[in-house]
């Protein structure tokens, strides 16, 4: 199945995609709420709510408020090599926050404070049930499915220090979606990831080149803390990022950046001018009578 979260006016709803039609999964405001149900697969398969043509549907990020957003850096051999590093023995883990995420087709603001806006197309693992200290051999059963993400990175801020966090958590900079394909219908090792900027291919790489597999990452992360339904793991990006090119290439206002994963779909995001900061509200003067 392909599952998503739709924006429907002032509300949202989990939905199932069948061909070119989304069917609402009534009673579940997003995929995260659905995954918290033990029988989520049956609920999704049996859903018969209102329908929406896919061409007209407005997509929200698949999980609106994940409890954990864990990210892996340097997880493709090609990307590790282009960044001039040795192959790691263990995954490089960092985290994001809910405010960092955005919808799969939402505009992304350029950052006035950092001209080095870069792309990172990634496969996303969506956790389907609580996992704590699970073995790698069993980790697959805890994966609900897979989606795509673009870990838009502010490189100048990222490399100000040895810690990457400050270049990875800017507001509304990480689109996730467009759908989650259930694990029984998607084989990561057989898929290819493509990233395009204004139609030009920047990344095209087999996901089978992952150094640490989705199962390994679920097992590794669950050793440290429990993973819960709706948690997501960004598994890293392959070679072809803008910073590593000669000459370097960075995103600018007016660019369109797309991340496509075979069998999942495409994120398409326009880079737009940063919004003007809001003026502070006037201070109310209270006069004693």
| Chain center to CA of 231 | 11
In terms of pLDDT, which residue wins out, 4 or 80? 4
pLDDT higher than threshold 70 for residue 280: no
d(CA 182, CA 203): 24
pLDDT higher than threshold 60 for residue 281: no
Q: For residue 87, what pLDDT is reported?
A: 82
Q: For residue 90, what pLDDT is reported?
A: 94
Average pLDDT on 181-209 reads 97
Cβ distance 189 to 261 under 8 Å?
no
Task: Please report which helix (H) or strand (E) contains residue 45, including its range.
Answer: helix 40-46
Q: For residue 82, what pLDDT is reported?
A: 72
Length of the chain, in residues: 289
Q: For residue 110, what pLDDT is reported?
A: 96
Q: Using the 8-state DSSP alphabet, how is residue 99 labeled?
A: G
Cβ distance 267 to 178 under 8 Å?
yes
pLDDT higher than threshold 80 for residue 278: no
Average pLDDT on 78-97 reads 85
Give residue-wise pLDDT tens across range 43-53. 999 999 999 99
Nearest to 195 by CA among 268, 254, 124: 268
Q: Are strands 58-60 and 69-73 parallel, antiparallel or unpaired?
A: unpaired
The contacts of residue 126 (CB under 8 Å, 6+ apart) are: 31, 35, 62, 63, 143, 144, 145, 146, 147, 180, 230, 231, 232
Q: For residue 287, what pLDDT is reported?
A: 47
d(CA 175, CA 197): 15
Q: Provide DSSP, 146-189.
A: EEEEE--EEHHHHTTSS--GGGT--TT-EEEEEEEEEGGG--GG
Query: Model pTM?
Result: 0.93
d(CA 31, CA 41): 11
Cis peptide before 34 (omega within 30 of 0): no
Cβ distance 210 to 188 under 8 Å?
yes
74-113 residues labelled b (16+ CB within 10 A) or e (exposed) = bbbebbbebeeeeeeeebeebebeeebbbbbbbbbbbbee
d(CA 124, CA 181): 10
Domains of the chain and CATH, by start: 2-60 (no CATH), 69-272 (3.90.850.10)
d(CA 202, CA 41): 36
pLDDT higher than threshold 70 for residue 242: yes
d(CA 228, CA 206): 28
Average pLDDT on 185-189 reads 97
**Residue 41 burial by Cβ neighbours in a 10 Å radius (0-12, 13-18, 19+):** middle
Name the band, by pLDDT with cuts 50, 70 and 90, for residue 252: very high
Strand partners, 258: 196, 268
Name the band, by pLDDT with cuts 50, 70 and 90, for residue 289: very low
Least confident of 20-29, 79-88, 162-171: 79-88
């Amino acid at each position: 199945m392909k599952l998503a979260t739709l924006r429907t006016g002032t509300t949202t709803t989990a939905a199932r995609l069948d061909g070119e039609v989304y069917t609402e999964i009534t009673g579940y405001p997003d995929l995260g709420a659905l995954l918290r149900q033990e029988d989520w697969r049956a609920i999704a398969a049996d859903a018969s709510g209102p329908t929406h043509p896919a061409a007209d549907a407005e997509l929200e990020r698949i999980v609106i408020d994940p409890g954990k957003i864990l990210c892996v850096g340097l997880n493709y051999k090609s990307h590790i090599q282009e960044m001039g590093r040795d192959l790691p023995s263990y995954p490089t883990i960092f985290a994001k926050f809910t405010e960092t995420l955005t919808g799969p087709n939402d505009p992304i603001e350029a950052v006035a404070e950092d001209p080095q806006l870069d792309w990172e197309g990634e496969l996303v693992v969506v956790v389907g049930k609580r996992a704590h200290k699970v073995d790698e051999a069993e980790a697959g059963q805890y994966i609900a499915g897979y989606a795509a993400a673009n870990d838009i990175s502010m490189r100048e801020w990222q490399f100000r220090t040895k810690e990457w966090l400050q270049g990875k958590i800017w507001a509304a900079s990480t689109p996730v979606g467009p759908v989650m394909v259930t694990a029984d219908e998607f084989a990561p090792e057989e898929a290819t990831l493509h990233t395009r900027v204004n139609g030009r291919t920047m990344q095209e790489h087999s996901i089978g080149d992952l150094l640490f597999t989705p199962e390994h990452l679920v097992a590794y992360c669950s050793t440290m803390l429990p993973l819960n339904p709706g948690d997501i793991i960004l598994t890293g990006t392959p070679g072809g990022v803008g910073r590593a090119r000669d000459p370097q290439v960075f995103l600018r206002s007016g660019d369109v950046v797309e991340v496509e994963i075979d069998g999942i779909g495409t994120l398409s995001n326009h880079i737009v001018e940063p919004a003007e900061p809001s003026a502070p509200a006037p201070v109310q003067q209270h006069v004693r009578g």
